[in-house]
Amino acid sequence: MKKLKLLITFVFIIAAFTSCDKRKVEKFSEPISSDYGIFPVTMQSDQGGNLACEDLIGDYPGGTSGRINYDAETNTFDADFSAYGLTVTVNEDTYVSFEMDPSSGWCVGAVIVKGSNASNVFYYDPGVKSDQGLTAPINPSGNPAGLSNLTFCFVECEEPLVIAVKTWYWDEAGSYRWGATTGNKVFTYSWCGYGYLGVNDYPAIPSITMEQSYTDTQIGEVAVAVDGSVTVTLNEGLTIDKTYLFIGTLADLLNTNIASDNCPDYTNQISGPWLLNDEDGNSQTFSF
């Protein structure tokens, strides 16, 4: 009877260790996100874990880099990524970083990171120009497998939106003036370049300072709400006459409806992309 109890206890201990070990493996099997916050999809295939863009979800009109193999001993690849406008680096034979030529019209829509007998697929929607910290799947040791090869799948870039605001107002002395948003200076001529008209990402920046033209005097702010609506509020004592708002791509701002002074023809409400609010007051809101 004593031997039976010892046997049962021994089996229980083995089962307990096995159970704990299994939980440990499951814990470490969770995928690691990239620095961009993308969690990969782990996939296997009949080709030892190797995949192609044709095996993935989605269309990739920009084509593919094809499978490019990595040599851990020399920290080199067997093909040149620069042919695709890419700069790729690998740290510790495991962690992948990539950066694509900003002037390229193509972005990365997916990356296949192969290691051991499986691949991690990082999907990007919309496509991106860079990311880092990509790894192959986690192996039983609890660490990412060493890199075997990479495949990049390309999509057309979705150009981000920008915002710019110009407002006409009366100051406390009754003088009629104009001001505009601060931000990135993209014009180099006339009022929009010297004035100046600042450009910011939309809707990423929730608050944008407005300044009086040709000065650094702050006159108010532009607030971008979560729903995308835009509110222009001037300082106390200033009264808005009319405000012009642009939301669109930077290419449209620079190339569409440009006046003879090489600045945007913001008053053209027929063919131009600018919106007008002419309700007098200290604050105006554009709702969409």
215-261 per-position pLDDT tens digit: 999 999 999 999 999 999 999 999 999 999 999 999 899 998 999 99
Helix, strand and coil content of the chain, in percent to the nearest 5, comes to: 15, 40, 40
Kindly state whether residues 176 and 61 are assigned to the same domain.
no
Kindly state whether residues 56 and 130 are assigned to the same domain.
yes
Query: What is the C-alpha to C-alpha distance for residues 213 and 166, in angstroms, rounded to an integer?
Result: 10
pLDDT for the residue 266: 96
Closest by CA position to 281, among listed 244, 236, 246: 236
For residue 13, being part of any structural domain is answered with no
pLDDT for the residue 46: 85
pLDDT for the residue 114: 98
* DSSP label at residue 55: G
**Domain final position from 106, 127, 156:** 156
Q: How many domains does the chain have?
A: 2
For residue 142, being part of any structural domain is answered with yes
Strand partners, 83: none
Kindly state whether residues 174 and 132 are assigned to the same domain.
no
Element at 159 (helix H, strand E):
none
Sort strands 207-212 and 218-224 into parallel, antiparallel or unpaired: antiparallel
For residue 9, being part of any structural domain is answered with no
Kindly state whether residues 256 and 176 are assigned to the same domain.
yes
Q: Which tokens go with 130?
A: 């860079």
Query: What is the C-alpha to C-alpha distance for residues 5 and 28, in angstroms, rounded to an integer?
Result: 35
Kindly state whether residues 45 and 121 are assigned to the same domain.
yes
CB atoms within 10 A of CB 103: 6
Q: Which residues make Cβ contacts (< 8 Å) with residue 163, sequence separation at least 6? A: 181, 199, 200, 201, 202, 203, 205, 208, 222, 224, 230, 245, 246, 247
For residue 243, being part of any structural domain is answered with yes
3-state SS string over 141-158?
CCCECCCCEEEEEEEECC
Residue type, 39: F
* DSSP label at residue 40: P
Cα Rg of the chain, angstroms: 28
User: How far, in Å, are 237, 266, 284 from residue 281 at the CA level?
Assistant: 10, 20, 7
| Domain that includes residue 169, residue range | 161-286
Residues of the chain with pLDDT under 70: 1-31, 271
* Biggest distance spanned by C-alpha atoms of the chain: 105
Kindly state whether residues 112 and 222 are assigned to the same domain.
no
Element at 17 (helix H, strand E):
helix 2-28
Q: Hunting for tokens 């030529």 — which residue is that?
A: 101
For residue 25, being part of any structural domain is answered with no
Sort strands 68-71 and 239-249 into parallel, antiparallel or unpaired: unpaired
**Domain final position from 126, 156, 186:** 156
Q: b/e map of 190-224 (b: 16 or more CB within 10 Å)?
A: ebbeebbbbbbebbeeeebbbbbbeeeeebbbbeb
pLDDT for the residue 29: 44
Query: What is the C-alpha to C-alpha distance for residues 158 and 179, in angstroms, rounded to an integer?
Result: 30
Kindly state whether residues 166 and 119 are assigned to the same domain.
no
ω into residue 196 within 30 of 0, thus cis? yes
